[in-house]
Structure 1
């Protein structure tokens, strides 16, 4: 019994060693850890069947209670039986692959065992199918959770399936006495070794899976950091400045020999080995990059020749090139270079594929944001262009009437009108201007309106000197003043006043106050939100202004109205640190 135990231990150790080596091979690891695909299932059946068949050939022959040592058992005498590790392999295959894999491996390996001969070989077809089915059913619940049984659970299963094997030998043997004698010799060594082997194998699997999870967690953390660091640069588009910054960050995180980013024609950035000849602004040098741009597929190179760089002293010997796309169109490439071709592994490839997708999404997001900004800007400028042209004819009529009465005054007003519309056109090309510039335009507007309504109103301005350089949207004050002049007063009374007040605390508060007749309640809720029909214009000025404020700064900047029979206050709150985006 001890001798058999030692011989089986050798065979179990050999299987465990091979399994450990194979778990470090990416292709086999992928089979073991991704078990819900029919292609994976087929691969598991093939591999574990080979293991089980080999176990048959390298088993230990038992003849009339004695151990017979042979190197390879292709044929067994009719008086001999076989102690081997086939049950271990079938059990593991069922745990890893489920019932289909377990039964298939059991069937294929038992057919080979049947052809070897020996005492009652048909028994092993029955036992192998039962063991494959039971271990597969047991393993299925772990497959659904994408985990493996614990070593203790594996040891118990190993003990159970070996007991099933022994029972089959006793129940289905033609010679009960001989079968009991055989079981007495082989049961303990086979139960001990197969349960121990299954426990060790599952320990290796669980440890490998844990390392895989930890590695993925670290990779995920690195990818998130890398994504966050490169986001501002890829979102700004593919250009030399953004590409250089992004390439430096990628090389730092990926720890590769060099990183290169190109558009479809030239190198935008190359950081690391080879930067003496892979220079920004140069045309793309490598045939590999040109092929990726042409095909849109990821390409690998594992030699200097495959990279296709014609520079004699280039020390780059491996590369992976990923297309950068937006809306399925190739915009450029990301290239990771290696001086040692062995460094380009399965992990690097998968990492590069994921990063390529992320960076492509960032570029596409940047393009979408750019288009959104351009559309928003076009809308803002369109709204600005709608401001004030309705009063043009009234002003011309006023100037026309003055030409015969006071030609000098008419000339003065004509110059003011010219200056006003010049400022109007300039404002339509900008999103923000200084308060000082806005007030110049407002003063021209007030001069023109006073010519139409002499001695009917006064405008007072309260503004600290330091706030004159504060940026605000163009036409903001002009529209509010225009609205007050048109609607606050009936010009039958004297003492009509409009006050412009600009103050600063945390933000800038702009107020235009009048002492007019107030706003009717039925109109108050509509102001700034919809077009209100007006006999004196289009009725859309306040609505357009409010839409511009919200579009530029969000809802906090929306116009606010306070009104009573003593007058109206129209106000808005703007950020105190604004930067103009002028074109």
Structure 2
């Protein structure tokens, strides 16, 4: 009654209740709001009763009104508190359910992550089996845009290698790029399945396949399952994309290594044959030895497998064959010093040292007018083996260093760049100085626990100032060292 005795008291307490509600929402922890809400509601109703008593025309009328409505109104405020508790419980359950679904998706992702390193039909079958067991599905499948890659669970016998075409529902999901839910329908090849969830898988924004979840009973695809499956499909899409990128990079690395292994520089071969032909008349024994060196060098390059780990002594045979041919070509212009410990023993990636020796001779010694020295050092230093190639040439142009770091070397000059890539991949960062030096030393220090890649460079000094050999890790003071760990 807008003109009744209770109108003004209810108006006042309604404003007070609104202010208290806002204050409770801002100041009181969520778990305690329902309790404080009940107390605040009882307080507001009590205030209403007091105002009614004082606002009534007579005290007896006010008491009569309060005696009739007081208890129901206070009990109503208590019920409102329990309703708030119920709403909070529902919201909390939703949050807990979302957290469980997110944890389930992450657990599945952690279990399946190793399987995506080498994607094939068997690894995808294992992925489907993990998903099926963790979400209690009857069947799970992964498809491309035209065929089923893996199917695990109920109805698996209906899928054969010769007949793995995708279903019309799957094709619809791929073409539309949208999730398709069938909660009371029969599957394409398995009529016993009545619930189906088809989620597109994307790589770089393009649909490349689907993740399919099946249940035999109808109406099993809930909203929480759909949200979890969508998150899981995004994780799978990312893992597939990363796996594809890794495979492409691995293929590129292998192709580059095969190119390096099979790369016989025409100029080197031409010069080697010229040196052999010149020696045939003047020194047949030397020619015979050069032919042996060349044949062994070629055989070594041809027989290598992809990034094969080989004994360092076997690598040395190939390097010495190469150097013998180059010394026959350059004569007294080239002097090679071997600083190699007799007992040194370790395995290294094939063709790791030869490109550095070739670089030192072709780009370090050949352009010089006078004689040059290349020092090949392989030394044991405690639990490490230090490999160094050093020349007395004109140094490295900073522009070349920058191109190597930026992976911008021409396609026909892959030797040094290949070593750069492989050392960086196996031993860490391969850092080169940004200044031009007269003497350049490439060095790799390897240990069972930690592996380092180094490049050492020396400033210009008279030849007599340099020691003929480098012992261990002790360098003269004028040697500039960069060690990156």
Fold match, TM over 0.5? yes
Measure, in 1, the Cα distance between the counterparts of 2:381 and 2:121.
Answer: 41
Say whether the 8 Å CA contact 2:344–2:378 is kept in structure 1. Answer: no
Report the alpha carbon displacement of residue 401 of structure 1 after superposing the two structures with TM.
3.5
Counterpart selection for 2:113 from 226, 231, 235: 231
Measure, in 2, the Cα distance between the counterparts of 1:317 and 1:540.
Answer: 58
Aligned to 2:79, what secondary structure does the other structure show? helix
Counterpart selection for 2:36 from 129, 153, 169: 153
Measure, in 2, the Cα distance between the counterparts of 1:254 and 1:335.
Answer: 13
Say whether the 8 Å CA contact 2:138–2:215 is kept in structure 1. Answer: yes
Say whether the 8 Å CA contact 1:293–1:330 is kept in structure 2. Answer: yes
Aligned partner of 2:211 in structure 1 is: 334
Report the alpha carbon displacement of residue 300 of structure 1 after superposing the two structures with TM.
0.9
Are 2:181 and 1:296 aligned?
A: no
Measure, in 2, the Cα distance between the counterparts of 1:136 and 1:286.
Answer: 55
Say whether the 8 Å CA contact 2:341–2:378 is kept in structure 1. Answer: yes
Aligned partner of 1:259 in structure 2 is: 140
Listed one character per residue, the Cα deviations across residues 113-166 of structure 1 (whole Å, up to 9, x for unaligned) are x8xxx96797699469637743652465279x8x46433201122113324554
Aligned partner of 2:466 in structure 1 is: 565
Measure, in 2, the Cα distance between the counterparts of 1:526 and 1:197.
Answer: 81
Measure, in 2, the Cα distance between the counterparts of 1:184 and 1:559.
Answer: 93
Aligned to 2:156, what secondary structure does the other structure show? coil
More helix by share: 1
Are 2:353 and 1:476 aligned?
A: yes
Measure, in 1, the Cα distance between the counterparts of 2:224 and 2:426.
Answer: 45
Q: Which runs of 5+ in 1 are unaligned?
A: 1-80, 82-113, 533-537, 573-583
Are 2:22 and 1:137 aligned?
A: yes
Listed one character per residue, the Cα deviations across residues 36-55 of structure 1 (whole Å, up to 9, x for unaligned) are xxxxxxxxxxxxxxxxxxxx
Aligned to 1:341, what secondary structure does the other structure show? coil
Are 2:200 and 1:323 aligned?
A: yes
> Cα–Cα, structure 1 residues 153 and 524, in superposed 2: closer, same or farther, change >3 Å?
same
Q: Which runs of 5+ in 2 are unaligned?
A: 405-411, 430-450, 459-464, 474-485
Measure, in 2, the Cα distance between the counterparts of 1:296 and 1:397.
Answer: 65
> Cα–Cα, structure 1 residues 181 and 344, in superposed 2: closer, same or farther, change >3 Å?
same
Listed one character per residue, the Cα deviations across residues 180-222 of structure 1 (whole Å, up to 9, x for unaligned) are 521232123311x123213322333444444444444443333
Computing the radius of gyration from Cα coordinates, the structure with the larger value is 1
5 Å-filtered alignment, 1:171-210, equals: 178-191=61-74, 193-210=75-92
How many residues are paired up?
434
Counterpart selection for 1:245 from 121, 126, 131: 126
Say whether the 8 Å CA contact 2:355–2:416 is kept in structure 1. Answer: no
5 Å-filtered alignment, 1:69-88, equals: none
Measure, in 2, the Cα distance between the counterparts of 1:492 and 1:252.
Answer: 72
Aligned partner of 1:550 in structure 2 is: 424
Report the alpha carbon displacement of residue 298 of structure 1 after superposing the two structures with TM.
1.0
Counterpart selection for 1:349 from 226, 235, 243: 226
Report the alpha carbon displacement of residue 440 of structure 1 after superposing the two structures with TM.
3.9
Measure, in 1, the Cα distance between the counterparts of 2:308 and 2:224.
Answer: 50
Say whether the 8 Å CA contact 1:473–1:549 is kept in structure 2. Answer: no
Measure, in 2, the Cα distance between the counterparts of 1:560 and 1:228.
Answer: 39
Q: TM-score, normalised to structure 2's length?
A: 0.70
Q: TM-score, normalised to structure 1's length?
A: 0.60
Aligned partner of 1:575 in structure 2 is: none
Aligned partner of 1:74 in structure 2 is: none
> More deviation in 478-487 or 341-350?
478-487
Measure, in 2, the Cα distance between the counterparts of 1:463 and 1:184.
Answer: 109
Counterpart selection for 1:360 from 237, 253, 261: 237
5 Å-filtered alignment, 1:289-438, equals: 289-305=170-186, 307=187, 309-311=188-190, 314-374=191-251, 394-395=271-272, 397-402=274-279, 404-406=281-283, 409-410=286-287, 413=290, 416-417=293-294, 420=297, 423=300, 430-432=306-308, 434=310, 435=312, 438=315
Measure, in 1, the Cα distance between the counterparts of 2:413 and 2:173.
Answer: 57
Counterpart selection for 2:153 from 231, 247, 272: 272
